[in-house]
Structure 1
Amino acid sequence: MASRPGICSISLGRVAAGHTLERRLDMAQIHGFRGIELFHEDLVSVAEETHNASFAGNKLPQPFTSTGAQEIAAAHKIRIMCAERDLTIICLQPFWQYEGLLDRAAHFHNLTVKLPHWLNLAHALGTDMIQVPSNFLPADQLSEDFNLAVADLRRMADAGLAFAGLDSTGKPLPITTTTKDHGLDNHGVIRFAYESLAWGTRCDTWEDAWRTVQAVNRSNFGLLLDTFHLAGSRTFADPASRSGLVPDAHTKLRESLARLVREVDVKKIFYVQIASAEKLAEPLVLGHELYQADQPARMSWSRSCRLFYGEEGEYLPLFDVAHAIFQDLGFRGWVSHEVFTRRAWDQDEDVPLDLAGRAAYSWMKIAAAFRLQHPPPAPPPTRVSSPDSITEAGKMEKERGETSMTAVAATDEDVVVSGVETLALGGHNSEDGQKAFL
């Protein structure tokens, strides 16, 4: 099985900066991506666009707050938009601030109102996966009881099974307790990909996330490995220090990656996110332009300073992390670029084109270094649903003298990497991959 390239919708620009989801999907398709991680804010933006259009120039009520029905309608629309561009919706994300809440009334609302809505959104989108980042609410709002967090997440997983009419063991539910009794339609199983955020309050390393996945012990609850969080956590990076590193960083990361390879069942990795980050010129502390007193330094750093794999200026040892995941563990599946960058907030029209091109070039490097695809046949003609977008993109690239990255094409079985500067794909070992990376 070959890996397939994906990208997060907000890694191609933010809707608040004027970058429509349709434009970003065009750029993803043109540059050969096969899948999209859909951020919930983009689903809401489509709901708002539809809502505003219905007013036909009349004064609109402000601010817009989407209803459940509007979001479901938007999900159906996005599903069609992606299908027209041969894009798979990898997952809907992020379902956050969920597990371990001390406020059990809030938890009950999340479990009985928000979660069923998200299950129906996933079904409407045509995806079978919801991404769940570890909770990063303040410590005084979260229980220290690991078992409580596990129980909360297990209920989530069980709801995803019940959505398909299955019990926690995967067996059909008795007719007296069908999912319809719980207000859920009987559809396919929804999976949950759990991710440790580098600034998570109780779970901030892959080890914590893996321990949680094992404890939840459900077939539809697995791991999301994000290379930024693996290397950007307290295991290796510290943006608040002048060196950018924790003490003994390289030793700690090497030992952590060895444990990853030794302990994790690759079948429980639902997908992988690829991202690096730049080293800050000054420590991210009080007085730094990115400093915010109400959030951890790693969060501020992550939300503004990520880079695509192999880009100039990165300092996280991503080759080593990727080698552990793709070579040592042998992961094959969705590989998605989730990069949060200041560039995404620029209002220039060419932001989606620029970011998609950077991501596509990054994918070429990854795919070549770790042989994530079969040897490529000649790429088929690119299919794009918006000719105007192709024309505009082509003109812009020609004006800039940039190499088009449009031929990172793929099928469900094979990922094809091509283009003017295609890297050699045969015979890569670790040393060859390192050269390609550099």
Structure 2
Amino acid sequence: MSLDYPSLQAIPTSYASCSLGSPSSPPPLLDRLDAIQAAGFSAIELSFPDILSYGATLLGHSPAPNDYDELCSVAAAIRAECDKRKLAVMMLQPFSNFEGWADGEDGRKDAFERARGWLRIMQAAGTDMLQVGSSDTPLEKLDLSKVVPDLRELCDLLKPHGARVAYENWCWSTHAPAWKDVWRIVNEVDRDNIGLCLDTFQTAGGEWADPTTETGLLDDVSKIELIERFQQSLDDLKFTIPKEKIYLLQISDAYMVPEPLSKEPDEAGLSPRGRWSHDFRPLPYNGGYLPVVDVTTAVLRTGFRGWFSYEVFDGGAEGTGRDVDIVAYSQAASNVHQRLLAECAGNVFPIGHDHKTRVADR
């Protein structure tokens, strides 16, 4: 049965503040807020790097990442600018490398200090949702028995303030790279203020595609078996996850990399999928090759009608960066949203369809 297209029109839309413009040198934050508002989005995901960079402009110096007094004043100023534009701050992101640190690791103390500080920033920014990405800390530094208790403690910290955790599977995570992994963890945490941040890139980029192979696809099985396996995963998603446990769906596609990436971490320790995520994520229908429509349709078939948030890191097909007209780009994202909903409602393309429409370059 087709999804009802008119009912999809009520889905609220957000744009990640950090992901408009070149990933390496984004335009000033207020220019991006203007473009996002002009394109008809109703909210932003506020990124921590944008708080730091706008803080340098606002304060005349770069605030320290743990100076929460200064960071809260910056977040409050960003909230005021969003209010002027009738934009909500839907979520603070990305809270990384939080869960599962082994006792004695410095990262454990830092994780909970950051949690308390980021809660203050959330309050200043006027948002009730914190995105937590599944950790990519090396497994030898983790105690996986602490993942669930850590997330329970985080939920309990946020609960008195009416705040919640949107837990996302980052496809380069060392312990929970797939949606089934984070869903299992969320079930075990068993708190009413934790749910899922699902993502078309993270799902398809982990279970369908691989930037280290010649084909750009997982090559442990035949193409037919890959299609069947991925479709089974999407079927499991739509019949397993209650709609109320999905807090948002982030949307982007991925370019096939010009040359397969090394399977080894780079000098900064970032895995190939992490490097791919950083520079090769365009809007759907703009040169990427992931089955975005299929993932989105599966999420909608759970009954979810919450936030669709566009989070792209578009360094061009070569991943080297490109200049874009941010007003045209944000409008293109709004157009993509309408096309995506229409295709989910009745014109679903087969898995692996290559999207061709391009957004305007400057």
What is the TM-score normalised by the length of structure 1?
0.72
Q: How many residues align?
A: 337
Match of 1:413 in 2: none
Residues 353 and 269 of structure 1: is their aligned pair in 2 closer, same or farther, counting only changes over 3 Å? same
Q: Select 1:231's aligned residue among 197, 204, 210.
A: 204
C-alpha separation between the residues in 2 aligned to 1:7 and 1:318? 17
Q: Select 2:186's aligned residue among 197, 213, 216.
A: 213
Match of 1:203 in 2: 176
Deviation at 1:299, TM superposition (A): 1.0
Q: Deviations over 1:122-155 (max 9, x none)?
A: 1111110010000001222222x3x310000100
Q: Deviations over 1:298-323 (max 9, x none)?
A: 11111111121222x22111111111
SS of the residue corresponding to residue 119 of structure 2 reads helix
Q: Deviations over 1:269-328 (max 9, x none)?
A: 0111011101223211289xx9668321111111111121222x22111111111111x2
Match of 1:341 in 2: 314
Match of 2:87 in 1: 87
Match of 2:21 in 1: 13
Counterpart AA for 1:140: E
Residues 14 and 282 of structure 1: is their aligned pair in 2 closer, same or farther, counting only changes over 3 Å? closer
Residues 156 and 104 of structure 1: is their aligned pair in 2 closer, same or farther, counting only changes over 3 Å? farther
RMSD: 2.6
Residues 82 and 200 of structure 1: is their aligned pair in 2 closer, same or farther, counting only changes over 3 Å? same
**Pairing 1:429–2:340 present:** no
C-alpha separation between the residues in 1 aligned to 2:233 and 2:350? 21
C-alpha separation between the residues in 2 aligned to 1:11 and 1:153? 27
Match of 1:125 in 2: 125
C-alpha separation between the residues in 2 aligned to 1:192 and 1:14? 28
Deviation at 1:15, TM superposition (A): 8.7
Q: Select 1:159's aligned residue among 157, 160, 165.
A: 157
Counterpart AA for 1:241: T
Counterpart AA for 1:319: V
Match of 2:4 in 1: none
Deviation at 1:361, TM superposition (A): 2.1
What is the TM-score normalised by the length of structure 2?
0.86
Match of 2:343 in 1: 369
Deviation at 1:254, TM superposition (A): 0.7
Residues 65 and 256 of structure 1: is their aligned pair in 2 closer, same or farther, counting only changes over 3 Å? same
Q: Select 2:195's aligned residue among 196, 200, 222.
A: 222
Runs of at least 5 residues in structure 2 that lack an aligned partner in the other structure: 1-6, 357-362
Deviation at 1:104, TM superposition (A): 4.7
Residues 345 and 72 of structure 1: is their aligned pair in 2 closer, same or farther, counting only changes over 3 Å? farther
C-alpha separation between the residues in 2 aligned to 1:74 and 1:204? 33
The structure with the largest alpha-carbon Rg is 1
Match of 1:420 in 2: none
CA contact (8 A) 1:95 1:130 kept: yes
